[in-house]
């Protein structure tokens, strides 16, 4: 464990050897170790810091949706007694909208400065949670009712957590870091309008599993600005679920099962130990935005809360639409409701 892995392939091989020698359950990483944080990069979803090293934000209620230039990397402060409460990007970043193919592709800025599609897309997201192998999982059913293919999509989940439950801690020198909560793709199936299914694919017909899993392990949870509660020590964190190269065809849908687990961090990459994440999503859930019940009087839409079912409950219509999972395309919100802080 005292060697610095030079590549993701070497890291995976080393982890296999580690599992053989000791078993993952015997490895104990201290997620609260006081270390100097290295740069954390996250595929096309990088968030960049300002000159002060503090993660910046454009608004008090939303992520700044601009994509970073490929030469910049995000940074996260390591001190758990100085909680970063903001997210954002550099002012030089630009939004790429050339992939939009809908008549509703014009975008507007909300009062918070967020980029939002002028007309939210005709789509829906249904979700339920289940436990399998001691880990928390979500089944997400994403339906595209538009007349065009959906690509460059990411889902954003919102949950309250303390830094030690969710914040990536990078290693220093010859030590590795820890990922208290990482997202990993487990099942991905694409369904056509007639209900026939096949593995999730990219635009050119390539299998999308590898790109999706890689993107999920590179992106890191980040806290929303001004969401820190000094009483509980919690902030509202954004858990990003990128679909990477996977597309959802017109009048079609995707079933995506993702798991939350604990693992290590090295070389800008989280590798799972298949151990329970430090942050758990329990029933009943009264505090996590994308899981908890909502009322129209308070949040504008009634939602009973995310149900808990068996793993093989299936893709059935009685699973409620979850309007509190937000969907973004090329950095523009196209569906769903983020928290209003």
pLDDT tens string 298-333: 999 999 999 999 888 876 668 999 999 999 999 999
CA 27 centroid distance within chain? 25
Q: Is the pLDDT of residue 168 over 50?
A: yes
Q: Which CATH number fits domain 8-335: 2.30.31.70, 1.10.3720.10, 2.60.40.710, 3.40.50.2300?
A: 2.60.40.710
What is the reported pTM?
A: 0.71
Between 49 and 187, residue with greater pLDDT: 187
Q: Is 235 in contact with 223 (CB distance < 8 Å)? A: yes
Position 298 scores a pLDDT of 96
How big is the CA angle at 88 (ends 86 and 89), to the nearest 5 degrees?
155
Distances from the Cα of 307 to the Cα of 137, 194, 268, 303, angstroms: 12, 27, 34, 11
The tens digit of pLDDT for each residue in 170-223 reads 988 878 999 999 999 999 999 999 999 999 999 999 999 999 999 999 999 999
Q: What are the DSSP calls for 67-130, one per residue?
A: BPPTT--EE----TTS--------TT-B---TT--STT--EEE-TTS-EEESS--SEEEEEEEE
Q: What is the pLDDT of residues 94-145, one digit of tens each?
A: 222 223 333 344 677 666 678 998 889 999 999 999 999 999 999 999 999 9
Rounded to the nearest 5°, which phi and psi values hold at 127?
-150, 145
Nearest 5°: the CA angle 282, 287, 290 is 80
Share the mean pLDDT of the chain: 76
| Every domain of the chain and the residues it spans | 8-335
């Amino acid at each position: 464990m005292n060697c610095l892995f030079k590549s993701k392939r070497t890291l995976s091989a080393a982890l296999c050897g580690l599992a053989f020698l000791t078993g993952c359950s015997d490895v104990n990483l201290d997620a609260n170790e006081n270390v100097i944080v290295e740069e954390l990069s996250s595929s096309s979803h990088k968030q960049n810091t300002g000159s002060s090293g503090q993660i910046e934000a454009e608004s008090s209620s939303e992520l700044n949706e601009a994509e970073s230039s490929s030469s910049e990397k995000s940074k996260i402060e390591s001190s758990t007694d100085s909680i970063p409460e903001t997210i954002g990007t550099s002012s030089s970043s630009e939004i790429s909208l050339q992939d939009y193919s809908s008549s509703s592709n014009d975008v507007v800025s909300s009062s918070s400065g967020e980029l939002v599609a002028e007309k939210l897309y005709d789509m829906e997201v249904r979700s339920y949670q289940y436990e399998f192998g001691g880990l928390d999982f979500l089944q997400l059913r994403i339906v595209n009712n538009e007349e065009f293919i959906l690509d460059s999509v990411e889902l954003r989940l919102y949950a309250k957590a303390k830094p030690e439950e969710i914040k990536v801690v990078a290693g220093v020198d010859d030590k590795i870091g820890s990922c208290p909560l990482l997202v990993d793709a487990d099942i991905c199936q694409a369904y056509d309008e007639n209900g026939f299914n096949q593995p999730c694919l990219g635009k050119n017909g390539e299998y999308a599993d590898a790109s999706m899993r890689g993107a999920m392990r590179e992106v890191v949870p980040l806290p929303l600005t001004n969401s820190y509660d000094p009483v509980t020590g919690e902030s509202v964190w954004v858990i990003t679920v990128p679909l990477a190269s996977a597309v959802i065809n017109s009048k079609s849908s995707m079933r995506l099962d993702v798991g939350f687990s604990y693992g290590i961090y090295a070389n800008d990459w989280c590798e799972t130990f298949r151990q329970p994440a430090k942050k758990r999503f329990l029933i009943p859930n009264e505090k996590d935005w994308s899981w908890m019940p909502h009322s129209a009087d308070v949040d504008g839409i009634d939602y009973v809360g995310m149900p808990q079912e068996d793993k093989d409950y299936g893709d059935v219509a009685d699973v409620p639409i979850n309007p509190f999972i937000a969907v973004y395309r090329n950095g523009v919100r196209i569906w769903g409701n983020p928290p209003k802080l």
